[in-house]
Amino acid sequence: MIRRAARSEHVSGWLFVLPAVALIGLFGIVPIIWGAILSLQQNDLLTPPKWVGLDNYRTLIHDPVFRASVHRTIVYTLLFVPISVGGALAIAILLNRRIRFSRFYRTAVFIPVATSTVATGIIFNWLLEPTYGVANYLLGQIGLGPYGYFQDPDQALYSIVAMTVWGWIGFDVIVYLAALQGVPEELVEAAKLDGAGRWAIFRNVVFPLLSPTTLFLVVWSTINALQVFDEIYVTTHGGPLQATTVMVYYLFNQAFELFHGGYAAAIAYVLFLMTLVLSVVQLWIGNRRVYYS
Amino acid sequence: MRLRLPFSPWHLVLIPLSALMLIPLAWMLITSFQTLSESRHFPPHLLPSGLHWENYPDAWNAAPFGRFFVNSLTVTLASVAGNLVFCSLAGYAFARLHFFGRDVLFVVLLATLMVPFQVTMIPTFLIVKDLGLVNSLGALIAPNLVTPFGIFLLRQFFRTIPIELEEAARMDGCSRLGVLVRIIIPLSLPALATLGIVVFLWTWNDFLWPLIVIASPNESTVQLGLASFQGAHQTNWPLLMAGNVMALAPMLIVFVVAQRYFVQSLASTGLKG
């Protein structure tokens, strides 16, 4: 009786997970392995592939466009992550106060979260249009500009940073606000009674309690920053003069515009490795500093 | 009695901040009511000379937006339904059933979460091509029917439900599936809502995958259609903004109306797009 029940649990267990395992197997696990094989091939995604061993990786190391794309991706990440996470922390603390119109302020900050990356790109194309754009007009009022934004190779990547921070910061604020709900009122009150100033309370009480959230957001934003693509595709197409050709844009260009499938797969694996190394390093450094209550 | 809050100096920070967040959307809306010549003017007219509604029917007729909406809705609803069903089944098995290979399988599924989409994208394209799905909605639905993230989320939630509830039902002769459908699911509506909302946002706004597998306007999603609409009407900003407003409006309205649920879901998961 007991053995039959146990056997039936094996059967029903597998039946329950079967659809999910089949789908994730076909569209998740097989592609991971196939991608590794692909990166060792010359493959135009149409005709039969040719085996080339590590040639794709060797070519990558010396490909000046690829090296530049890695450099740009890192610059983008180094700007995007601190600005969006740091900015979100400041905004979340402001929004966490009991203040009039706070519902309105929150909605204003959250609304870009629901705005698609494509729509964001099109809006900013117009906003940052050098001749008629409203950004140059508004900045002109305070004596700045005019700027070329997406059309200026020296400003394009920074313009992408500004646009993507606008689009993503609301999500970080949402996560921080949820974490702030978990900061016990008593602790803050106790620190106040002990005569701690606002900054001291933030530095010594609130910030340590938020550190697991900060670590999560830093890791998560870094992963997303390394994969930035949509907004670039819609605005600059990697230009001008390749100034915004980041890794994933180069990968897309190699795979689906030039049909160098094997070469693109090698880029994807380098990206994977970078993501993994950065996440592990961040978690390792972070976990030694994070305060878990 | 309502407490009257004193005027806070922080409004002086929050007002410019809100302006910064809202100006892009407001400017989109204003431009969508301008004429073409009005939009090509510097300094810009901050208010349109009148409400030029004609940009909206013009945009609607310039690209098959109706088709895009039907496609996006089909793909999104199918993905949400697939995730709710398959992740519930798998999540329940991982939470409650002891079957051969369970723990190894669970770790393998979770590990796939670590792999960037760009790594699997090219082989998945080849698989979809071999299945004959390229340029069909099937190519957008099939790989999105289930996510390891959803399995993980539901498994964690199911484990918090007291096991005694199930045991009683099992004693009364209820099957495993019966337990899942009659007891676990009704108690897990918040978690299922979270999964549904996240998959909805994510699928609706997805761009890169449709860009790769879809080539014809007839099978385009809203995001893909919007991108090619921009390509076709380069500098006709009022027309582009009208199209953008139409494409964005349903999601933004749903988001603002149901903001509380969206915010809770996003806060508890950590995912956008």
Q: Which of A69-78, B4-13, B98-107, B151-160 has the lowest mean pLDDT?
A: B4-13
Contacting residues of A for B18, CB less than 8 Å apart: 104-105, 108-109
Does the ipTM exceed 0.85?
Answer: yes
pLDDT tier at B249, thresholds 50, 70, 90: very high
What residues in chain A have per-residue pLDDT under 70?
Answer: 1-6, 293
Contacting residues of A for B226, CB less than 8 Å apart: 116, 118-119, 122
Place of tokens 């197997």: A25
Place of tokens 């590590």: A54
d(CA B163, CA A180): 32
Interface of B with A in 51-80 (CB under 8 A): none
Please, which residues have CB within 8 angstroms of residue B15's CB and are 6 or more apart in sequence? none
Q: Is B234 on the interface with A (CB under 8 A)?
A: no
pLDDT at position A47 is 84
pLDDT at position B108 is 93
Q: How many residues does chain A have?
A: 293
d(CA A104, CA A91): 14
pLDDT at position B235 is 84
Q: Which of B34-43, B145-154, B179-188 has the lowest mean pLDDT?
A: B34-43
Asked if the model's pLDDT at residue B7 lies above 80, the reply is: no
Cα nearest neighbour of B243 on chain A: A119
Q: Could you give the percent of chain B with pLDDT greater than 70?
A: 96
Contacting residues of A for B204, CB less than 8 Å apart: 116
Contacting residues of A for B249, CB less than 8 Å apart: none
Pick the residue of A1, A10, A16 with the most B CBs within 10 A to test the interface with B by mutation.
A16
Distance from CA of B172 to the nearest CA of A (A): 15
Question: Cβ of A123 and B25 within 8 Å?
Answer: yes
Which two three-digit tokens encode residue B213?
A: 């597998």
Distance from CA of A57 to the nearest CA of B (A): 15
CA-based radius of gyration for chain A = 24
By C-alpha distance, which of A191, A247, A215, A216 is closest to A63? A247
Contacting residues of A for B116, CB less than 8 Å apart: 223, 226-227, 268, 271-272, 275
Instruction: With beta carbons less than 8 A apart as the criterion, state whether B140 and B213 touch.
Output: yes
By C-alpha distance, which of A190, A268, A121 is closest to B228? A121
Question: Cβ of B25 and A111 within 8 Å?
Answer: yes
d(CA B261, CA B257): 9
pLDDT at position A288 is 82
pLDDT at position B5 is 62
Distance from CA of A32 to the nearest CA of B (A): 5
Question: Cβ of B18 and A104 within 8 Å?
Answer: yes
By C-alpha distance, which of B189, B173, B162 is closest to B264? B189
Question: Cβ of B89 and A17 within 8 Å?
Answer: yes
Distance from CA of B249 to the nearest CA of A (A): 9
Q: Which of A28-32, A216-220, B41-45, B142-146 has the lowest mean pLDDT?
A: B41-45
Asked if the model's pLDDT at residue B1 lies above 60, the reply is: no
Asked if the model's pLDDT at residue B271 lies above 60, the reply is: no
Which two three-digit tokens encode residue B31?
A: 């431009």
Instruction: With beta carbons less than 8 A apart as the criterion, state whether B54 and B38 touch.
Output: no
In this structure, how many other beta carbons lie within 10 angstroms of the beta carbon of residue A284?
9
The 10s digit of each residue's pLDDT in B195-247 is 999 999 999 999 999 999 999 999 999 999 999 999 998 889 999 999 999 99
Cα nearest neighbour of B260 on chain A: A107
Instruction: With beta carbons less than 8 A apart as the criterion, state whether A126 and B241 touch.
Output: yes
Instruction: With beta carbons less than 8 A apart as the criterion, state whether A85 and A172 touch.
Output: yes
Q: For the residues of chain A, what is the DSSP string, one character each?
A: -HHHHHHHHHHHHHHHHHHHHHHHIIIIIHHHHHHHHHTTEE--SSSPPEE-TTHHHHHHHH-HHHHHHHHHHHHHHHHHHHHHHHHHHHHHHHHTS--TTHHHHHHHHHHHHHS-HHHHHHHHHHHT-TTT-HHHHHHHHTT-----GGGSTTTHHHHHHHHHHHHHHHHHHHHHHHHHHTS-HHHHHHHHHTT--HHHHIIIIIHHHHHHHHHHHHHHHHHHHHT--HHHHHHTTT-STTTT--HHHHHHIIIIIS--HHHHHHHHHHHHHHHHHHHHHHHHHHHHH----
pLDDT at position B43 is 86
d(CA B253, CA B242): 16
Please, which residues have CB within 8 angstroms of residue A263's CB and are 6 or more apart in sequence? A42, A56, A59, A60, A254
pLDDT tier at B48, thresholds 50, 70, 90: confident
pLDDT at position B8 is 79
Beta-ladder partners of A50: A42
Instruction: With beta carbons less than 8 A apart as the criterion, state whether B47 and B30 touch.
Output: yes
Question: Cβ of A34 and B223 within 8 Å?
Answer: no
The 10s digit of each residue's pLDDT in B60-77 is 999 999 999 999 999 999
Which two three-digit tokens encode residue A30?
A: 């097989």
Distance from CA of B163 to the nearest CA of A (A): 16
Question: Which among A12, A21, A251 has the least Cβ separation from residue B105?
Answer: A21
Contacting residues of B for A131, CB less than 8 Å apart: 42
Which two three-digit tokens encode residue B244?
A: 């953008």
Handedness of CA B15, B21, B23, B25 (dihedral sign): negative
d(CA B185, CA A118): 35
Q: For the residues of A71-93, what is the DSSP string, one character each?
A: HHHHHHHHHHHHHHHHHHHHHHH
Distance from CA of B121 to the nearest CA of A (A): 8
pLDDT tier at B170, thresholds 50, 70, 90: confident
Enter the DSSP assignment of B183: I
d(CA A135, CA A139): 6
d(CA B89, CA B97): 11
d(CA A94, CA A133): 31
Please, which residues have CB within 8 angstroms of residue A281's CB and are 6 or more apart in sequence? none
Q: How far is CA B254 from CA A115, A275, B42, B262, in A?
A: 12, 34, 35, 9
